[in-house]
Amino acid sequence: MIAQKSKFVTGMVLMIFFAVVFATIFMPVFDGKNGLQYLDNLYNSISKGSAYYIDQVREEVQTIQTPELTLNLTMKSEMQAQQTVPLFMKAGAQVGQDGAILTVSGNIVQILGHCLDDAQYMYDNDGAAVTAKYGYAEKAALYNWWSALKAMDFDLKKQKQFNVAKIAEMVNKKAVETAYNYYGIEGQHISERLGVVIFSLIFYVIYTLWYGFGIMYLFEGWGLQLEH
């Protein structure tokens, strides 16, 4: 039984339009993507634009006072160790391999700088340059850098090279991880898409209220009311 016809009709109209917009959001009308995919790509792109630290990390690497080091790195497998060898050799280091263990001797500033070069390629979505350098998939190469830096952090702390370990960890978190996670995404600054961002936030608030009022009017039209 409909108790208040006008409120019921208002609620029904609101919910019909809500459903139409909802269906439109999931249609590929935004450059071949649906609304959620479009906004997800937009915010990932803006996030990448504000997550660039490679130049800042390079400056930290240059502050290392004891650059000549020998490191014993335990990789996850013999195959990964074998793939990781050229990463260090391209940086001018001497590398020995015994199964999954690498012995690396060289200038840590050069090694970390070389790693940052690869992170820069990946941040710029130039994975082809990394593949050409090492002869295998670019994301696998960057993952091997990540694993090597994890092992490096462990060995540096064993050697009480805490400052170098801190900088190596910074290279991993602020450069390698960022470049890996955002690979393939075109970075943008929020100022470039400010209008779209503001519109999406306002639309989200209005759309949520729209749904709430639609449900409220439907229930009130049926005669359902909240009472204290």
**CA angle, 132 then 138 then 143, to 5°:** 135
Can you state the angle between helices 54-61 and 108-123, rounded to 10 degrees? Answer: 180
Whether residue 224 is predicted with pLDDT greater than 60 in this model: the reply is yes
- Could you tell me which of 97, 110, 95, 183 has the C-alpha nearest to residue 140? 183
Q: What CA–CA distances, in Å, run from 137 to 28, 53, 204?
A: 31, 24, 40
Task: For residue 42, give every residue at least 6 positions away whose Cβ sits within 8 Å of its Cβ, in sequence order, or none.
Answer: 193, 196, 197, 200
Q: Please give the structure tokens belonging to residue 190.
A: 């929020």
**Cα dihedral sign, 25-26-27-28:** positive
Can you tell me which residue has the tokens 């260090």? Answer: 88
Q: How confident is the model at residue 209 (pLDDT cuts 50, 70, 90)?
A: very high
Q: So what's the pLDDT on residue 40? A: 83
C-alpha distance across the termini of the chain, in Å: 23
Whether residue 30 is predicted with pLDDT greater than 90 in this model: the reply is no
* 70-84: average pLDDT: 97
Strand order in the sheet with 94-98: 68-74, 101-107, 94-98
Higher model confidence: residue 40 or residue 116? 116
Q: So what's the pLDDT on residue 227? A: 58
The amino acid present at 40, given as its one-letter code, is: D
Q: Please give the structure tokens belonging to residue 93.
A: 């280091």
Instruction: Give the count of beta carbons closer than 10 Å to the beta carbon of residue 170.
Output: 17
pLDDT digits (tens, 9 = 90+) for 192-202: 788 888 888 89
Instruction: Give the count of beta carbons closer than 10 Å to the beta carbon of residue 207.
Output: 14
Pairing of strands 94-98, 101-107: antiparallel
* 158-176: average pLDDT: 96
d(CA 95, CA 88): 7
Please list the residues that pair with 73 across neighbouring strands: 102
Side-chain-facing half-sphere of 136: CA atoms under 13 Å:
14
d(CA 133, CA 127): 10
Whether residue 1 is predicted with pLDDT greater than 80 in this model: the reply is no
Q: Is the separation of the CB atoms in 217 and 14 below 8 Å?
A: yes
Q: Is the separation of the CB atoms in 135 and 80 below 8 Å?
A: no
